[in-house]
Amino acid sequence: MGEHFKCLSAVFPIIMRTKNGKRQVLLLRRKNTGYMDGMWDFAGSGHVEENETAMQAAVRECKEELGITVKQSDIRFAHLSHRVGLNGARTYYDIYFVIERYTGEAYIAEPDKCTGLQWFDVGELPGDFIGIRKQALMMYFDSKYYSEVMNS
């Protein structure tokens, strides 16, 4: 019998705040990653590593990429997207978490992978925000916690 199919997992912290009565989300502009470089993405996102839970990965990525400290107890599940790889693309489970409490001031801690870090009103997201991320955010706002994406 052959080996079971394996896929990757990635975490996407949806770091949010309210400012001047408006909900805002923290995004970063990708650089030198090999995936959607030049586009806006959720700040603090990354792969789940071996022997690590998704929440542990979110905590680690927020520290590594943004210099902020997040407690697992302050992380809330938002959405799961099964991104099926077609035509040689990788298959992922993308796990989205909402984070509204953390310690420290977010900054670009990995300048080799990021060219910008900015808060955006959720009603005025940039046009070059990665489409599947925007879709997951809108599904979260609509209380839809699971989606499937065919990724070619």
Cβ neighbours of 117 (radius 10 Å): 17
What average pLDDT does this structure show over 116-135?
A: 97
Q: CATH number of 8-151: 3.30.43.10, 3.40.50.620, 2.40.50.140, 3.90.79.10?
A: 3.90.79.10
Domain residues of the chain, as ranges?
A: 8-151
What pLDDT does residue 97 have?
Answer: 98
pLDDT above 80: residue 2: no
Q: Pick 150 or 73 by higher pLDDT.
A: 73
Share of the chain above pLDDT 90, in %: 88
What pLDDT does residue 86 have?
Answer: 81
Residue 152 binned pLDDT confidence (cut-offs 50, 70, 90): low
Which pairs count as long-range contacts for 38-41, CB under 8 Å and 24+ apart, including other chains? 38/115, 38/128, 39/128, 39/129, 39/130, 40/116, 40/120, 40/125, 40/126, 40/128, 40/129, 40/130, 41/12, 41/129, 41/130, 41/133
The model's pLDDT over 53-99, given as tens digits with 9 standing for 90+, comes to: 999 999 999 999 999 999 999 999 999 999 998 877 889 999 999 99
Parallel, antiparallel or unpaired: strands 146-151 and 8-19: unpaired
What average pLDDT does this structure show over 126-131?
A: 97
What pLDDT does residue 109 have?
Answer: 97
Share of the chain above pLDDT 70, in %: 99
Residue 1 binned pLDDT confidence (cut-offs 50, 70, 90): low
- The helix/strand/coil state of 141 is helix
What average pLDDT does this structure show over 98-119?
A: 97
